Structure 1
Amino acid sequence: MTDAALGDLDRPTREQLADLPPTASLVYLELYAADGPRTLRQLTYRMARPETSIHRALRQLHDEGLVSCDPRHTDPPSSEWSVDG
């Protein structure tokens, strides 16, 4: 999956992630270590987790202001997710 670890993150981010489910932390670390934005499908494939779990984690991270979502104008349309900041 990812080479990033929670210890690589700043303290406020670690504290925010501590209040979220473990899948949200894993998704955040995957995006943090990525070389660019990722779609839900890419994250699901890379992390080998159910799409519903990844989607729920992305929404929780978005609600916390830790990740952002940009629409991608493809057919079918999808969104790209990335770490804020």
Structure 2
Amino acid sequence: MTDAALGDLGRRTREQLADLPPTASLVYLELYAADGPRTLRQLTHRTARPERSILRALRQLHDEDLVSCSPRHTDPPSSEWNVDG
């Protein structure tokens, strides 16, 4: 799991995460502590949560402008997620 804690985050970010489900906070913390972007598969593995839950969390975090997604040109193509700011 992640080494980051909610207390490490800014007040505004903590307030945004408080309104989201726990899986979204977990995914955000994993991305926050990561040394670079993560794919859905990596996040699923690191958080031990179902892919569907991770996808939902990523959409919610993206809607809150907390994370961004960039295409990864591999075969098959996938996306990489990263914390904004």
Q: 1:44 Cα deviation (Å)? A: 0.3
Give runs of ≥4 in structure 1 deviating > 4 Å. Answer: none
State how far apart, in whole Å, the 2-side matches of 1:75 and 1:48 are. Answer: 24
What residue ranges of structure 1 are gaps of 5+ in the alignment? none
Q: How does 1:1-80 map to 2 (within 5 A)?
A: 1-80=1-80
TM-score (norm 2): 0.99
What residue ranges of structure 2 are gaps of 5+ in the alignment? none
Which amino acid in 1 is paired with 2:35? D
Deviation track 1:59-78 (CA, whole Å, cap 9, x = no partner) reads 00000000000000111110
Cα RMSD (Å) of the superposition? 0.4
Q: 1:6 Cα deviation (Å)? A: 0.3
State how far apart, in whole Å, the 2-side matches of 1:42 and 1:3 are. Answer: 16
Aligned residues with identical type, % of pairs: 89
What is the number of equivalent residue pairs in this alignment? 85
Which amino acid in 1 is paired with 2:20? L
TM-score (norm 1): 0.99
